[in-house]
């Protein structure tokens, strides 16, 4: 039975959700087909069946699963014969740490850099909602919150130190091959690449080379997604 995947997507084809990208990469890793249902910021009524308002959500057979971590765990457990996302229970637990590091530390530094550009590529019908909810969350006007200064880029790059040190010695966060830990961080870079022209990484950064490898994965699927140059 084909999986149905509800992801934040605009009618211009942009896929601007870091968590949606995690799921998209996980489905590709498992080699699973799916039907995509694009959800715009103001299309939330289409998610009512899931009992909450956020994407990503998948329906797989009789199961409705919101939340990217829960979806990754479901795919791993329901499709054990497909390539593993975690490679074992201990690695799954450590991957949770990576997911939480990205959620709590990388994404807040990244959003300060890119949210103004993301507003510009939102569908016109979603822009008022996006502005209102983000300004409420940040407690200030968007233009005051956004910071694309060199100092903020340096702060962002410094936050990536644990990934950089790891990727100096191995090609992927998960080791010799990419796994869900990689998709957690890479999902955020896809969020940025699909929504903002800002150059976040120096070209000699091992994180830059790692991102380039992942952009080419799955026959170049992530690199072909509508976005800006990496
Ligand atoms: N913890 C959730 C977070 C999901 C989330 O924050 N989704 C955002 C898109 S990145 C969303 O649906 N936002 C809708 C809105 O802001 O109205 C996960 O990992 O799936």
Could you tell me the residue ranges of all domains in the chain?
3-78, 89-224
pLDDT per residue as tens digits for the range 156-190: 999 999 999 999 999 999 999 999 999 999 999 99
Give 208's pLDDT tier (boundaries 50, 70, 90): very high
Pick from 19, 43, 71, 135 the residue to mutate for probing ligand 1's pocket: most ligand atoms within 8 Å of its CB.
19
Confidence of residue 229 (pLDDT cuts 50, 70, 90): confident
Across 67-83, average pLDDT: 98
Share of the chain above pLDDT 70, in %: 100
Confidence (pTM): 0.97
CATH of domain 3-78: 3.40.30.10
- pLDDT, residue 1, reads 76
Q: Quote the ligand 1 centre to 111 CA distance (angstroms).
A: 13
Name the residue of 54, 101, 135, 191 to mutate for ligand 1: max ligand atoms within 8 A of Cβ: 54
Cα dihedral value 145, 117, 38, 27, nearest 10:
-90
Instruction: Give 182 Cα–ligand 1 centroid separation in angstroms.
Output: 19
What is the total residue count of the chain? 230
Number of helical H runs and strand E runs in the chain: 11, 4
Nearest CA to ligand 1 atom 17: 41
The pLDDT value given to residue 12: 73
For residue 7, the surrounding DSSP H or E stretch is strand 3-8
For residues 86 and 111, give the distance between their C-alpha atoms in angstroms, rounded to a whole number.
27
**What is the Å distance from ligand 1's center to 141 Cα?**
21
pLDDT at 46: 95
Q: Is 19 in the pocket of ligand 1 (CB under 6 A)?
A: yes
* Residue 174: per-residue pLDDT: 98
Mean pLDDT along residues 201-221: 98
Residue 10 — pLDDT band, cuts 50, 70, 90? confident
For residue 66, which atom of ligand 1 is closest to its CA?
20
Cα of 75 vs its chain's centroid, Å: 17
Comparing CA positions, the residue from 45, 53, 84 lying closest to residue 174 is 84
Cβ–Cβ under 8 Å, residues 23 and 71:
yes
Question: Is a pLDDT exceeding 90 seen at residue 13?
Answer: no
Ligand 1 in reach of 131 Cβ (< 6 A): no
- Considering only CA atoms, which of 128, 124, 130, 28 is closest in space to residue 75? 28
Task: State pLDDT tens for residues 16-71.
Answer: 999 999 999 999 999 999 999 999 999 989 999 999 999 999 999 999 999 999 99
Question: Domain 89-224 maps to which CATH number in 3.30.1330.20, 1.20.1050.10, 3.40.30.10, 1.10.3720.10?
Answer: 1.20.1050.10
Residue 145 has pLDDT above 80, yes or no: yes
Contact 217 CB / ligand 1 (< 6 Å): no
C-beta 67 within 6 A of ligand 1:
yes
């Amino acid at each position: 039975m084909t999986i149905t995947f509800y992801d934040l997507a605009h009618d211009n084809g942009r896929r601007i959700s870091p968590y949606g990208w995690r799921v998209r990469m996980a489905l590709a890793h498992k080699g699973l087909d799916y039907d995509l249902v694009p959800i715009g910021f103001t299309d939330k009524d289409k998610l009512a069946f899931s009992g909450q308002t956020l994407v990503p959500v998948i329906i797989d057979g009789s199961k409705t699963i919101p939340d990217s971590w829960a979806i990754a765990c479901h795919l791993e457990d329901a499709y054990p014969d497909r390539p593993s996302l975690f490679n074992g229970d201990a690695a799954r637990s450590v991957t949770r740490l990576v997911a939480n590091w990205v959620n709590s530390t990388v994404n807040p530094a990244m959003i300060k850099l890119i949210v103004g550009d993301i507003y510009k590529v939102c569908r016109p019908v979603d822009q008022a909602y996006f502005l209102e909810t983000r300004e409420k969350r940040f407690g200030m006007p968007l233009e005051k919150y956004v910071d694309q200064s060199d100092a903020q880029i340096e702060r962002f790059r410094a936050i990536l130190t644990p990934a950089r040190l790891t990727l100096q010695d191995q090609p992927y966060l998960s080791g010799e091959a990419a796994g869900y830990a990689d998709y957690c961080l890479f999902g955020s870079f896809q969020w940025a690449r699909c929504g903002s022209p800002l150059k976040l990484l120096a070209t000699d950064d091992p994180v830059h080379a790692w991102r380039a490898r992942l952009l080419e994965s799955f026959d170049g699927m992530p690199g072909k997604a509508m976005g800006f140059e990496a």
